[in-house]
Structure 1
């Protein structure tokens, strides 16, 4: 009888441990529609599911919903926060709750972008040439969704430089389709863009100089997490803190995705070709 009770107790402990381990391997990543965010989220989903049997869910939401969701533990992690400026306003209400972790990309860019053939170099010049940059009959700056940080900064730039233009917000793919159409015809167009982005490898583009520094200086991208995540999953925390990408590695990942037309297929190809780099990141958790 004593042996049976001991066996049952041991079985119960084993079952509980197995259940806890399985629960630990469930991961919800909050994402947004920026090209590099989609790229790295799919990359990590594939790595963690294929190598370590994680069950990873990608949840695409607005910026506001992302930050509140992390604070409420609806998501476990998100892979992109730009600091010290771009995402500071989203972080501010939750800065005492969210965990800002390791930096994985340094030297971002953000601002208004035109094709290199455009006879314009600064944002103030847009005030005089606004009529040339029309969209559907109105002088316009083409942007992404209205809830994004770059959209808010662009509204500030329009006011700061007194531009007789409006920002037309749409999705990232719609904006890029408009850029492509204008580029093929060598027509004037101004869009909101950021670095890293695959567009700078695909097209010959330039940032307009921003003498009032509305868009700020170069920044750093970090990953961040819900309250208590780093204690709940110290292994993944160590791995993600060891993760670093540069223009070559991140640009290559985004280019594969753009060429494939599918984030999973493109990420799979990139992973196959970059095993040594991935192994370096994963070694931090050993």
Structure 2
């Protein structure tokens, strides 16, 4: 799901994943390929890079605003053709059902190095000295309380339409906290900024890659290691009566698409299948948007112009 004074480090090149594949047919170039735009900046960056690669190959691209948790039926119906940054940690169950029915497909992994979990700005360790161990959160709960959560502590959860992963883990671990959904990615950033400026307590659900991880020196709580059994078997983990008493299972970020995509636009599908993006490439672009206030379109176009060697071979391999 967008995961900041930070160092804009020059990252490694986009992993191209090139092989000896033959050029594919372009297909229906007169019809636009519709790419989903979800609720976070990193996804916008990933999608516009992929979209501009398709345009360079001669395709028309439309960007369609779509709710992350409910876009898959539209994808199955061919109303949206691809989503280029889907996180396995909170993908809708509907995706799995539609994939099993052969209506949507997992195109391939995107390549980003991802992590999600309970997090806090570094100064919070001085307020709750037992951190990063998760057991410290119980004793520190009053410190994290707000007027709307008293007597429990507050966990700022993901926006409601991203699912309830924070609330699930609070319940599973039996922690005396109330999960309060943020209104948006921007609201999550506002919480981190305010906490860092005021040196106030904050427990938040957050993720990387995200420019805020560096800007606010965000650190993750050490939860019990996430395993599939934790989600299915209450006997697994520290709480014998509940599931989700663990961290996130390591996340894979992938590209998903309408099942008819490859047949309708063969070369476009090959481009998206080969498209890989590194965390080091993505995060500076996210910062340029969220910190510097530039548009996604401008930032991505500038990056594409300066980095043809990183993406053009993928396009050329598919269409030439």
TM-score scaled by length of structure 2: 0.75
Alignment equivalent of 2:154, drawn from 117, 120, 140: 140
Structure 2 match to 1:191: 204
| 1:230 alignment partner, one of 262, 266, 274 | 262
Residues 1:162 and 2:166 are matched in the alignment: no
1:90 and 1:81 map into 2 onto residues whose CA distance is 13
Counterparts of residues 66-105 of structure 1 (less than 5 Å): 66-83=71-88, 85-87=89-91, 89-95=93-99, 96=101, 97-105=103-111
Q: Distance in 2 between matches of 1:126 and 1:267?
A: 40
- Report the alpha carbon displacement of residue 46 of structure 1 after superposing the two structures with TM: 3.6
Following TM superposition, the consecutive aligned residue runs of length 4 or more in structure 1 with deviations greater than 4 angstroms are none
Residue of structure 1 in register with 2:59 after alignment: 54
Q: Is 2:24 the counterpart of 1:22? A: no
* SS in structure 2 of the partner of residue 30 of structure 1: strand
Q: 1:90 to 1:112 in 2, by over 3 A?
A: farther
Q: Confirm or deny: 8 A CA contact 1:259 1:266 kept in the other structure.
A: no
Q: CA deviation at 1:231?
A: 1.4
Separation in 1, partners of 2:307, 2:143: 44
1:171-224: per-residue Cα shift (whole Å, max 9, x none)? 110111121011112211111111211211322111101116334332221111
Distance 2:94 2:37 in 1: 14
Q: Report the alpha carbon displacement of residue 106 of structure 1 after superposing the two structures with TM.
A: 4.6
Whether the aligned pair in 1 keeps the contact of 2:28 and 2:264 (CA below 8 Å) is no
Larger helix fraction of residues = 1
For residue 22 of structure 1, give the secondary structure of its aligned residue in structure 2.
coil
Distance 1:284 1:198, change over 3 A: farther
Residue 301 (structure 2) pairs with residue 280 (structure 1) = no
> In the alignment, what sits opposite 2:238?
none
Secondary structure at 1:73 match in 2: coil
For residue 181 of structure 1, give the secondary structure of its aligned residue in structure 2: helix
2 CA distance for matches of 1:217 and 1:20?
39
CA 1:27–1:267 in structure 2 vs 1: closer, same or farther (change >3 Å)?
same
**C-alpha distance in structure 1 between counterparts of 2:261 and 2:255, whole Å:** 12
Q: Aligned partners of 1:99 and 1:73: how far apart in 2? A: 12
2:299 counterpart of 1:266: yes
**TM-score under structure 1 length normalisation:** 0.83
Aligned residues: 263
In structure 2, distance between residues paired with 1:202 and 1:37: 19
Query: 1: CA distance between counterparts of 2:50 and 2:65?
Result: 15
CA shift, 1:228, in A, is 1.2
- Secondary structure of 1:156's counterpart equals helix
Q: Give matches, 1:248-263, under 5 Å.
A: 248-261=280-293, 262-263=295-296
Counterparts of 1:56 and 1:246 in 2: how far apart (Å)? 23
Match of 2:50 in 1: 44
Flag the structure with higher strand content: 1
User: How many Å apart are 1:137 and its aligned residue?
Assistant: 5.1
Q: Kindly provide the CA deviation profile for residues 124-155 of structure 1, in whole angstroms up to 9, marking residues without a partner as x.
A: 32121112123455321113321214xx2211
